[in-house]
Chains A and B, each alone.
Chain A
Amino acid sequence: MNTILKVLIILFVGVLVAGSFYLAVENTNLFSNIEGNSMQEGKGQRSEGASSGRGERNGGEHHDEGISLSEGLPQMGRSLAKISGITLIVLAIQFVFSRLKKLKAPKALAV
């Protein structure tokens, strides 16, 4: 199959997924509860009230959250720790399953 066609298929599936999320968010109340909670939580932090969090751009002012090594490196470390932790858990589960399989196998042979 042509590579361009494959790329188009992948993009098409991506558009379908994105479209489904768009319909789910805009036409249902699926995320409205989360929105309500977040508004209550973030009331003290955000000064733009119930606006969309895009007030900076709407006002024409470009607001780029500053780069901070002291905050960014721990954030990266946390992500790495999360991925490592989940990997270890899955590997441990796999190990337990393989052990169980090995324990069952001789019994099956004996029968």
Chain B
Amino acid sequence: MSTSTRNNLILDITIFAAFLAIASPKLTGNTIHEWLSLALAAAIVVHLLFHWKWIIALSKNFFQKLFHLSRLNYIVNILLFIMMTASMFSGLLISKSILETLGIHLDVGQNWKMLHNLTSDLSVILLGVHFALHFKWLLSTLKRYLITPAIQLFQRPRAGALVVEPIRIKKEY
């Protein structure tokens, strides 16, 4: 899948915004909370596709440079994937809207609700770590694609500065 830094940034900001909305079900209501989580799962799959080469490369060479920051990053990412999968799966099992729409009826115990709360809280913590480990990239990319263009937009050309203007040249034969 072809990817660019800008696309990565847009996807990451979207995922983060969706995560924040999902983490506050009282703000969105239960129905949006459930359906947005399903959409987030799809967005995470795309996020993983964007970073597929990195995942494969690190999976192959994990033990070659064991004490490297990328290895910590890899472990955090795996834990985050596990926690988010567990959170979404348990959420799906206790969901009121999605399963009702699909016409599925499940009788599951209260422990799934507990698991959902536990894995959601752990996901928030791991997302914080994931965010911190990519902080430099995020900062430089935000500066490149958001902050600098925004500053340039409001910046006036200085008085006396050279301005390039197009001119028409008449061809005379």
Residue in contact with B29 in the complex, picked from A52, A58, A64, CB distance below 8 Å: A64
Query: Are A83 and B90 also in contact (CB < 8 A) when A3-B1, A32-B111, A62-B100 are?
Result: no
Residues of B within 8 A of A80 (CB): 20
Please give me the residue from chain B that is nearest to A84 by CB atom.
B128
Decide: A25 and B111 in contact? CB cutoff 8 A.
yes
Query: Are A38 and B89 also in contact (CB < 8 A) when A10-B45, A65-B25, A82-B128 are?
Result: no
Interface string of A17-45 (1 = CB under 8 A from B): 11001100100000110110011000000
Decide: B81 and A17 in contact? CB cutoff 8 A.
yes
Decide: B114 and A7 in contact? CB cutoff 8 A.
no
Interface of A, secondary structure class, is: helix
A46 to B169, CA, bound (A): 83
Residue in contact with A67 in the complex, picked from B28, B113, B135, CB distance below 8 Å: B28
Stretch at the interface among B7-15, B102-110, B155-163: B102-110
Q: Answer whether residue B147 sits at the interface, using C-beta atoms and an 8 A cutoff.
A: no
A79 to B23, CA, bound (A): 7
Query: How many of B's residues come within 8 Å of A, CB to CB?
Result: 48
Q: Answer whether residue B125 sits at the interface, using C-beta atoms and an 8 A cutoff.
A: yes
Decide: B131 and A87 in contact? CB cutoff 8 A.
yes
Query: How many of A's residues come within 8 Å of B, CB to CB?
Result: 52
Query: Are A57 and B100 also in contact (CB < 8 A) when A35-B110, A67-B28 are?
Result: yes
Please give me the residue from chain B that is nearest to A90 by CB atom.
B132
Interface string of A63-94 (1 = CB under 8 A from B): 11111110111011001101111111111001
17 other A-B residue contacts (CB within 8 Å) besides A71-B27, A83-B124: A3-B49, A17-B81, A17-B82, A34-B118, A35-B111, A38-B110, A52-B107, A52-B108, A54-B107, A57-B105, A62-B96, A73-B24, A75-B26, A87-B128, A90-B128, A90-B132, A90-B133
Question: Which residues does B use to contact A, with CB under 8 Å?
Answer: 1, 20-21, 23-31, 45, 48-49, 52, 81-82, 85-86, 89-90, 94, 96-97, 99-100, 105-115, 118, 124-125, 127-129, 131-133, 135
